[in-house]
Chain A
């Protein structure tokens, strides 16, 4: 399957967790690292669900969906400049969480209620590996909230506006993003 077909297919049936971000980035970004091709649609779904739990949308404040956290993370993981170890770590963490959910609840993480997700993630947090994974996922959410929109998150500076943060000038242009300089 070609990468673009895979990504388009993976977007189907996910109305609440729009994958349009990933589709867009598939069209415009470079060829992804081999490691990111290991991610299945289910992996992306669970990562998106965790992002939304850690950083929920509110009427007055953007959440993971509005800041395009999934697209941002995908761009990062698909970037050839990214350490393959980081990609593997995100991937294996999502698999461990899936197994952990099915062992404890016999259903996938994405089908759990909000309260069940909270309880499960707090249990997952007590494992050193789980804790490290959650910190990492949350950290990329915060990057998506507050780094320059040129990197795919924080669309139109939505995160900056929410936190009344002023970006510095000059801002990085697309042809001078960090791995291109």
Chain B
């Protein structure tokens, strides 16, 4: 039987890039269907309107939105469409997906993250499980990401440093802002290990890409040099050069068709001109980011899949997770520092790049009412996001009144020119529960008439406890640095850009959607390679693990297709 392609990949972000890259370089014909446009380095500017204020890289919510379901204080639930709210669950519908807009704070999961249940025991109301693979299975692929996507950093010894097959990172750390030294000195005095934060950013030209030019605008912004290791810059551009990839932007996949045996037989998509197309391939991969992957499977019913593709045990969309944690900030007020120090603090463009993982495991009886170690998390120190309109808008809040006139202008002047802000992002597990999931909304449809994803969000109290613990520790460091206005808190708000789960992998088809190879249990020619596979998320941003796992699955796909093709 002949097929249009060897493999058809839905999506082009961090879960898709490694598959596209691996199979194209091995000589296989790859079709990529990406619903967004195809931007290159020449299209990315430091434009706050495009990037943040006008949703320039995400769909118009009037045409494509989500429905969110949240818990009220009294335990009842309310739901609303995102167009009528300030919520937005889209993260970058362009070639390369949201990896174009990541900050690239890259941390591996630790060995214990792969068996959270056996390491720390059950937690009431949380669906914690062990992964069906171990850290050792993933390690070669974390290593591969360092070399192929490009991760810069420097390994230091600390209590939770994970095992590594390469001694150090292949690229030295990116240039550091003088704030890093302030953090190091404060940590030294407190007896804490501050570590250089690994970044998916090239500190020197390599891999046919340019080095970072320190524009001062990185996270949320597309990279204009190619230094950021987006799926597009690091993997797809290289895959395109093989001549084996047919990448179709503006291709919205609407349905995955399955045959009488339950196997996928075609993928249907709509192009920019609203024309319908169908294509087939030997193998299929879905990597549309967690929420949309579950939605596509649920929408893709067939005779053998009446409740959605791969959903005969009702697991698709279940156990959606985000990144839990907290946040904080502090200000090094200029009049407390010497002229020389102020000049240094005003430096522009370089990165703070400091993390603390001393509390990746926490033993604290007062907080957790137990002597047993608890799973903790990671503290990242970063610059306050430079977006000036967003910063200015926050200054208009004044105890319930709007601040305006001269008082607003005075506050703006003080905020922008009186000191250097430091921000903290703390990461912990967002525990999966029965109340965190994706389903199809019965009423709201997108512009093509397809039901939109309804996202039910549940916050487990353990997320908040760990979030508070980490936030308080970060506040100690900021105070030790001499910072003013120190503020730190746990957050129960789901970070809409850090989402995973929904199609967890596992051994038992009754409790998971994918097998350990990320192949759908019930559909032998279909794989899911984005963050959907994660049963638990670790206490770090997910991206490095998504990349690594997609490289791991790509090797399984390659083996199945017949291995590396001989060059003719």
Contact = CB atoms under 8 A, between A and B. Distances in A.
B412 A181 contact: no
A138 B389 contact: no
B563 interface: no
A47 interface: no
A114 to B, nearest CB: 9
B393 interface: yes
Contacts of B37: 181
Contact of B388 (A56, A165, A172): A165
Interface string A140-176: 0011011110010000000010111111111111001
A142 B389 contact: yes
Contacts of A177: 47, 49-50
A163 B412 contact: yes
Contacts of B388: 146, 160, 163, 165
Interface in B347-371: 348
Contacts of A58: 406, 409
A134 interface: yes
Interface residues on A, range: 35 or more
Given A135-B402, A169-B215, A172-B50, A181 B392 contact: no
Majority secondary structure of chain A interface residues (helix, strand, loop or mixed): loop
A176 B43 CA distance: 8
B564 interface: no
B39 A181 contact: yes
Interface stretch (B139-147, B216-224, B243-251, B337-345): B216-224
Contacts of A74: none
B163 to A, nearest CB: 38
B405 A172 contact: no
B416 interface: yes
A61 B409 contact: yes
A125 interface: yes
A81 B53 CA distance: 13
Contact of A178 (B56, B62, B412): B56
B417 A170 contact: no
B389 A143 contact: yes
A138 B50 contact: no
Given A147-B49, A168-B46, A178-B54, A139 B412 contact: no
B221 A168 contact: yes
A167 B45 CA distance: 11
A89 to B, nearest CB: 13
Contacts of B417: 163-164
Interface string A35-57: 00000000000000000011110
Contacts of A173: 45
A55 B408 contact: yes
A142 B393 CA distance: 7
Given A55-B408, A61-B409, A172 B402 contact: no
A68 to B, nearest CB: 15
A83 interface: yes
Contacts of A179: 54
A134 B404 CA distance: 10
A51 B385 CA distance: 27
23 contacts: A53-B405, A54-B404, A56-B409, A58-B406, A83-B62, A131-B402, A135-B402, A138-B396, A138-B402, A143-B53, A145-B389, A151-B49, A163-B392, A168-B46, A168-B221, A169-B46, A170-B45, A170-B46, A171-B45, A177-B49, A178-B56, A181-B37, A181-B50
The 8 residue pairs across chains A and B that have the minimum distance between CB atoms: A168-B46, A168-B217, A178-B50, A163-B416, A146-B388, A172-B45, A172-B47, A54-B404
